[in-house]
Structure 1
Amino acid sequence: MIRVSDIMEKEIINVKNGKRMGFITDIDMDVNEGKVISFSISGDSGRGFFSRGYEEEAISWNDILKIGCDTIIVNIGSEFNLDEFNI
């Protein structure tokens, strides 16, 4: 069994593009069923160091592939495109 406090400390990594998405800030649960529905994460939007440029994003429980010691691996969005790097 995993505690909520343990999950909140893990970094989210997207397996499709290898990007770090951020950390879990909130958990949406179905109290009647006792199941996690989704996680809210906050990630850096790429603004300056002193800015509060954080974006909030929801990740469905079904998008989680693996919960590891330090990270949670998710499968979201489109795959990595090598054409962007002129390779």
Structure 2
Amino acid sequence: MERVSVNDMRDKEVINICDGKRLGYIYDVEINVVTGCVVSIVVLFDCRIFGFGKCEELVIPWDRISCFGADAVLVNVGVDIYERLGCNGKGGKNGK
């Protein structure tokens, strides 16, 4: 079984495989204290335009993670996530 520390996870960029957009970096993890398992990752999602606005916390359930790579985490969260966050199709770091 492969292991990864929370510090190592924070260095990985999160990418949505539905559209290839960069969502940001892992900010935090949520753990089920009864089972000791990670249930989700939290990404600070930057949907600001020209530096105005705020970053939103995007909670991604563990079962939506497709792959942990050396430099990135691939997730499958669908493109509707941008509308729910109020980003109007602009998503990810610097709108990319």
Q: Report what 2:13 is aligned to.
A: 11
Contact 2:47-2:53 within 8 A present in 1 as well: no
- Percent sequence identity is 35
- Taking a change above 3 Å as real, the CA distance of residues 63 and 47 of structure 1, as seen in their structure-2 partners, is same
Question: By percentage of residues, which structure has more strand?
Answer: 1
Q: Report what 1:25 is aligned to.
A: 27
Q: Report what 2:55 is aligned to.
A: 54
Q: Report what 1:42 is aligned to.
A: 44
Alignment RMSD: 1.7
User: Does structure 1 residue 2 correspond to structure 2 residue 42?
Assistant: no
Q: Report what 1:85 is aligned to.
A: none
User: What is the aligned length?
Assistant: 78
Q: Report what 1:74 is aligned to.
A: 75
Q: Structure 1: any 5+ residue segments left out of the alignment?
A: 80-87
Bigger Cα displacement from structure 2, 40-49 vs 68-77: 40-49
Distance 1:31 1:4 in 2: 16
Larger Cα Rg: Structure 1 or Structure 2?
1
